[in-house]
Structure 1
Amino acid sequence: MATPTLIKVRGYHLDLYGHVNNARYLEFLEEARWALLEEYGGVQWYAERELALVVSRIDIRYKRPATMGDELLIHTRLATLGEKDGVIEQRIVRQDNGKLVAEAEVTFAVLHPREQGAQSLVGELGERLRRLQYAVEGA
Protein backbone atom coordinates (compact mmCIF):
# COMPACT_ATOMS: atom_id res chain seq x y z
CA MET A 1 0.00 0.00 0.00
CA ALA A 2 1.16 3.49 -0.79
CA THR A 3 2.37 5.74 1.95
CA PRO A 4 0.29 8.92 2.07
CA THR A 5 2.24 12.13 1.52
CA LEU A 6 2.37 14.43 4.54
CA ILE A 7 2.35 18.20 4.00
CA LYS A 8 2.50 20.70 6.87
CA VAL A 9 0.75 23.98 6.06
CA ARG A 10 3.18 26.90 6.34
CA GLY A 11 2.59 30.65 6.29
CA TYR A 12 3.67 30.99 2.66
CA HIS A 13 0.87 28.59 1.62
CA LEU A 14 -1.83 30.97 2.87
CA ASP A 15 -3.96 33.64 1.20
CA LEU A 16 -5.14 36.89 2.81
CA TYR A 17 -7.93 35.02 4.63
CA GLY A 18 -5.51 32.64 6.36
CA HIS A 19 -6.56 29.66 4.20
CA VAL A 20 -4.34 27.60 1.92
CA ASN A 21 -4.38 29.34 -1.47
CA ASN A 22 -6.13 27.29 -4.13
CA ALA A 23 -3.01 27.26 -6.34
CA ARG A 24 -1.00 25.66 -3.52
CA TYR A 25 -3.24 22.61 -3.62
CA LEU A 26 -1.94 21.94 -7.14
CA GLU A 27 1.58 21.84 -5.70
CA PHE A 28 0.52 19.58 -2.82
CA LEU A 29 -1.14 17.17 -5.25
CA GLU A 30 1.87 17.18 -7.56
CA GLU A 31 4.21 16.41 -4.66
CA ALA A 32 2.06 13.40 -3.76
CA ARG A 33 1.99 12.13 -7.37
CA TRP A 34 5.81 12.32 -7.52
CA ALA A 35 6.05 10.45 -4.21
CA LEU A 36 3.75 7.71 -5.52
CA LEU A 37 5.72 7.41 -8.73
CA GLU A 38 8.98 7.20 -6.78
CA GLU A 39 7.55 4.51 -4.50
CA TYR A 40 5.84 2.35 -7.14
CA GLY A 41 6.70 3.49 -10.64
CA GLY A 42 10.45 3.82 -10.82
CA VAL A 43 11.10 7.41 -11.86
CA GLN A 44 14.50 6.36 -13.22
CA TRP A 45 12.85 3.88 -15.61
CA TYR A 46 10.81 6.69 -17.20
CA ALA A 47 13.81 9.02 -17.36
CA GLU A 48 15.98 6.40 -19.09
CA ARG A 49 13.31 6.02 -21.79
CA GLU A 50 12.69 9.79 -22.04
CA LEU A 51 9.04 9.30 -21.07
CA ALA A 52 7.17 12.09 -19.33
CA LEU A 53 3.86 11.82 -17.53
CA VAL A 54 2.00 15.03 -18.36
CA VAL A 55 -1.22 16.37 -16.87
CA SER A 56 -3.98 17.18 -19.35
CA ARG A 57 -6.79 17.94 -16.88
CA ILE A 58 -7.28 18.51 -13.16
CA ASP A 59 -10.65 18.59 -11.41
CA ILE A 60 -10.35 19.71 -7.77
CA ARG A 61 -13.29 19.82 -5.39
CA TYR A 62 -12.56 21.88 -2.27
CA LYS A 63 -14.47 20.71 0.79
CA ARG A 64 -13.08 22.76 3.71
CA PRO A 65 -10.17 25.14 4.23
CA ALA A 66 -6.80 24.15 5.57
CA THR A 67 -5.00 26.68 7.77
CA MET A 68 -1.61 27.39 9.32
CA GLY A 69 -0.09 24.40 11.08
CA ASP A 70 -2.52 21.81 9.69
CA GLU A 71 -0.88 18.55 8.72
CA LEU A 72 -2.43 17.17 5.59
CA LEU A 73 -2.28 13.60 4.33
CA ILE A 74 -2.59 13.16 0.58
CA HIS A 75 -3.76 9.73 -0.56
CA THR A 76 -3.00 9.04 -4.21
CA ARG A 77 -3.77 6.15 -6.55
CA LEU A 78 -4.34 5.36 -10.18
CA ALA A 79 -8.12 5.04 -10.69
CA THR A 80 -8.32 4.15 -14.38
CA LEU A 81 -5.94 3.37 -17.20
CA GLY A 82 -7.16 3.77 -20.76
CA GLU A 83 -5.54 3.24 -24.13
CA LYS A 84 -3.71 6.59 -24.15
CA ASP A 85 -4.48 8.24 -20.80
CA GLY A 86 -5.18 7.54 -17.17
CA VAL A 87 -6.86 9.14 -14.18
CA ILE A 88 -5.25 9.50 -10.76
CA GLU A 89 -7.52 10.03 -7.77
CA GLN A 90 -6.26 12.07 -4.84
CA ARG A 91 -7.77 12.90 -1.46
CA ILE A 92 -6.40 15.47 0.98
CA VAL A 93 -7.43 14.91 4.60
CA ARG A 94 -6.43 16.53 7.88
CA GLN A 95 -4.18 14.20 9.81
CA ASP A 96 -5.62 15.13 13.21
CA ASN A 97 -9.28 14.40 12.48
CA GLY A 98 -9.44 12.68 9.08
CA LYS A 99 -11.76 15.33 7.64
CA LEU A 100 -11.72 15.71 3.88
CA VAL A 101 -10.15 19.00 2.74
CA ALA A 102 -10.16 18.43 -1.02
CA GLU A 103 -10.33 15.69 -3.62
CA ALA A 104 -9.08 15.66 -7.17
CA GLU A 105 -9.09 13.67 -10.38
CA VAL A 106 -6.00 14.20 -12.49
CA THR A 107 -5.97 13.02 -16.11
CA PHE A 108 -2.54 12.32 -17.58
CA ALA A 109 -0.84 10.96 -20.67
CA VAL A 110 2.69 9.75 -21.36
CA LEU A 111 4.76 11.58 -23.97
CA HIS A 112 8.09 10.97 -25.68
CA PRO A 113 9.98 13.99 -27.10
CA ARG A 114 10.65 12.39 -30.50
CA GLU A 115 7.24 10.82 -31.05
CA GLN A 116 4.00 12.56 -31.88
CA GLY A 117 1.04 12.24 -29.55
CA ALA A 118 0.46 10.23 -26.42
CA GLN A 119 2.06 6.83 -25.98
CA SER A 120 -0.10 3.70 -25.92
CA LEU A 121 -0.30 2.50 -22.34
CA VAL A 122 0.44 -1.14 -23.10
CA GLY A 123 3.30 -3.55 -22.49
CA GLU A 124 5.86 -2.70 -19.84
CA LEU A 125 4.66 0.91 -19.66
CA GLY A 126 1.11 -0.21 -18.93
CA GLU A 127 2.30 -2.71 -16.33
CA ARG A 128 4.36 -0.08 -14.53
CA LEU A 129 1.40 2.29 -14.46
CA ARG A 130 -0.95 -0.45 -13.22
CA ARG A 131 1.22 -0.77 -10.09
CA LEU A 132 -0.11 2.66 -9.14
CA GLN A 133 -3.68 1.36 -9.33
CA TYR A 134 -3.26 -0.82 -6.28
CA ALA A 135 -1.34 1.76 -4.28
CA VAL A 136 -4.04 2.97 -1.93
CA GLU A 137 -3.81 3.32 1.82
CA GLY A 138 -6.84 3.99 3.92
CA ALA A 139 -8.25 6.65 1.61
Structure 2
Amino acid sequence: MRTSITIEVRPTEIDGMGHVNNAKYLEYMEWSREDWYNKMGLPFDTFTKMNVGTVTVNININYRKEARQGEKLTISTDTVRKGKSSYVLRHEIRNEQGELVAEADVTSVTIDLKLRKSVVVPPALTKVFS
Protein backbone atom coordinates (compact mmCIF):
# COMPACT_ATOMS: atom_id res chain seq x y z
CA MET A 1 0.00 0.00 0.00
CA ARG A 2 1.31 3.42 -1.01
CA THR A 3 1.14 6.33 1.43
CA SER A 4 2.42 9.88 1.23
CA ILE A 5 3.09 12.99 3.25
CA THR A 6 3.71 16.56 2.15
CA ILE A 7 6.28 18.86 3.72
CA GLU A 8 7.57 22.37 3.10
CA VAL A 9 11.33 22.84 2.82
CA ARG A 10 12.56 24.94 5.76
CA PRO A 11 15.51 27.36 5.84
CA THR A 12 17.47 25.05 8.17
CA GLU A 13 17.42 22.30 5.53
CA ILE A 14 19.31 24.32 2.92
CA ASP A 15 23.06 23.92 2.36
CA GLY A 16 25.71 26.26 1.00
CA MET A 17 24.61 25.54 -2.57
CA GLY A 18 21.16 27.01 -1.86
CA HIS A 19 19.26 23.75 -2.12
CA VAL A 20 18.20 20.94 0.25
CA ASN A 21 21.20 19.23 1.83
CA ASN A 22 21.51 15.61 0.68
CA ALA A 23 21.15 14.22 4.22
CA LYS A 24 17.77 15.92 4.66
CA TYR A 25 16.24 13.72 1.96
CA LEU A 26 16.94 10.69 4.16
CA GLU A 27 15.18 12.46 7.02
CA TYR A 28 12.16 13.23 4.82
CA MET A 29 12.02 9.56 3.86
CA GLU A 30 12.20 8.53 7.50
CA TRP A 31 9.21 10.76 8.31
CA SER A 32 7.29 9.18 5.44
CA ARG A 33 8.29 5.68 6.57
CA GLU A 34 7.03 6.38 10.10
CA ASP A 35 3.74 7.62 8.62
CA TRP A 36 3.56 4.44 6.50
CA TYR A 37 4.01 2.20 9.57
CA ASN A 38 1.28 4.12 11.41
CA LYS A 39 -1.15 3.90 8.48
CA MET A 40 -0.45 0.16 8.22
CA GLY A 41 -1.51 -0.18 11.86
CA LEU A 42 2.08 -0.88 12.91
CA PRO A 43 3.16 2.01 15.14
CA PHE A 44 6.38 1.72 17.13
CA ASP A 45 4.53 0.42 20.22
CA THR A 46 3.14 -2.53 18.27
CA PHE A 47 6.62 -3.75 17.36
CA THR A 48 7.84 -3.25 20.92
CA LYS A 49 4.98 -5.40 22.26
CA MET A 50 6.08 -8.15 19.83
CA ASN A 51 9.71 -7.74 21.07
CA VAL A 52 10.63 -6.81 17.49
CA GLY A 53 12.62 -3.87 16.19
CA THR A 54 13.29 -2.72 12.65
CA VAL A 55 16.80 -1.78 11.62
CA THR A 56 17.72 -0.01 8.40
CA VAL A 57 20.61 -1.91 6.82
CA ASN A 58 20.83 -0.38 3.35
CA ILE A 59 19.69 2.74 1.54
CA ASN A 60 20.15 3.13 -2.19
CA ILE A 61 19.25 6.72 -3.07
CA ASN A 62 19.25 8.62 -6.35
CA TYR A 63 19.08 12.41 -6.37
CA ARG A 64 17.32 13.60 -9.51
CA LYS A 65 16.50 17.31 -9.13
CA GLU A 66 17.28 19.98 -6.59
CA ALA A 67 14.68 21.32 -4.15
CA ARG A 68 14.79 24.79 -2.62
CA GLN A 69 13.50 26.61 0.42
CA GLY A 70 9.73 27.04 0.53
CA GLU A 71 8.98 24.27 -1.98
CA LYS A 72 6.36 21.74 -1.06
CA LEU A 73 7.51 18.16 -1.50
CA THR A 74 5.45 14.99 -1.45
CA ILE A 75 7.21 11.93 -0.08
CA SER A 76 5.62 8.57 -0.86
CA THR A 77 6.35 5.15 0.61
CA ASP A 78 5.41 1.81 -0.92
CA THR A 79 6.31 -1.85 -0.53
CA VAL A 80 8.78 -3.51 -2.90
CA ARG A 81 9.55 -7.00 -1.57
CA LYS A 82 9.89 -9.08 1.57
CA GLY A 83 12.44 -11.73 2.42
CA LYS A 84 12.70 -13.99 5.47
CA SER A 85 13.89 -11.31 7.92
CA SER A 86 14.22 -8.32 5.62
CA TYR A 87 11.97 -6.13 3.53
CA VAL A 88 12.35 -3.23 1.13
CA LEU A 89 10.34 -0.02 0.98
CA ARG A 90 10.59 2.46 -1.89
CA HIS A 91 10.42 6.21 -1.37
CA GLU A 92 9.83 8.84 -4.01
CA ILE A 93 10.08 12.57 -3.41
CA ARG A 94 8.27 14.78 -5.91
CA ASN A 95 7.98 18.55 -6.17
CA GLU A 96 4.76 20.50 -6.75
CA GLN A 97 5.13 20.01 -10.51
CA GLY A 98 5.19 16.23 -10.00
CA GLU A 99 8.87 16.00 -10.98
CA LEU A 100 10.93 13.29 -9.32
CA VAL A 101 13.39 14.95 -6.93
CA ALA A 102 14.82 11.82 -5.27
CA GLU A 103 14.06 8.12 -4.96
CA ALA A 104 15.40 5.39 -2.72
CA ASP A 105 15.00 1.75 -1.84
CA VAL A 106 15.40 1.20 1.89
CA THR A 107 16.14 -2.29 3.20
CA SER A 108 15.27 -3.06 6.80
CA VAL A 109 15.72 -6.16 8.94
CA THR A 110 13.50 -7.24 11.82
CA ILE A 111 15.37 -8.09 15.01
CA ASP A 112 14.61 -9.58 18.41
CA LEU A 113 14.96 -6.59 20.76
CA LYS A 114 16.49 -8.64 23.57
CA LEU A 115 18.83 -10.88 21.59
CA ARG A 116 19.67 -8.18 19.00
CA LYS A 117 19.56 -10.84 16.27
CA SER A 118 17.48 -10.99 13.11
CA VAL A 119 14.11 -12.74 13.26
CA VAL A 120 11.46 -13.68 10.72
CA VAL A 121 9.34 -10.72 9.60
CA PRO A 122 6.26 -10.88 11.86
CA PRO A 123 2.87 -11.77 10.31
CA ALA A 124 1.48 -8.29 11.06
CA LEU A 125 4.13 -6.80 8.75
CA THR A 126 4.10 -9.67 6.24
CA LYS A 127 0.41 -9.10 5.45
CA VAL A 128 1.06 -5.60 4.01
CA PHE A 129 3.33 -7.17 1.38
CA SER A 130 0.61 -9.54 0.13
Question: TM-score, normalization: structure 2?
Answer: 0.91
2:10 paired with 1:13:
no
Contact 1:41/1:129 (<8 A) preserved: no
The residue number in structure 2 matching 1:109 is 109
Gaps of 5+ in 1: 135-139
CA offset at residue 32 of structure 1? 0.4
Gaps of 5+ in 2: none
Question: Which has more strand, going by share of residues?
Answer: 2
Distance (Å, rounded) in 2 between the aligned partners of 1:31 and 1:61 = 18
Contact 1:9/1:67 (<8 A) preserved: yes
Identity over aligned residues, as a percent? 29
Contact 1:75/1:92 (<8 A) preserved: yes
Letter in 1 for 2:107: T
Distance (Å, rounded) in 2 between the aligned partners of 1:62 and 1:115 = 36
Distance (Å, rounded) in 2 between the aligned partners of 1:100 and 1:25 = 12
Q: How many residues align?
A: 129
Question: TM-score, normalization: structure 1?
Answer: 0.85
For the aligned residues, what is the CA RMSD? 1.6
Which portions of structure 1, spanning 4 or more consecutive aligned residues, are displaced by more than 3 angstroms? none
The residue number in structure 2 matching 1:58 is 59
CA offset at residue 41 of structure 1? 3.6
Distance (Å, rounded) in 1 between the aligned partners of 2:35 and 2:2 = 9
SS of residue paired to 1:25: helix
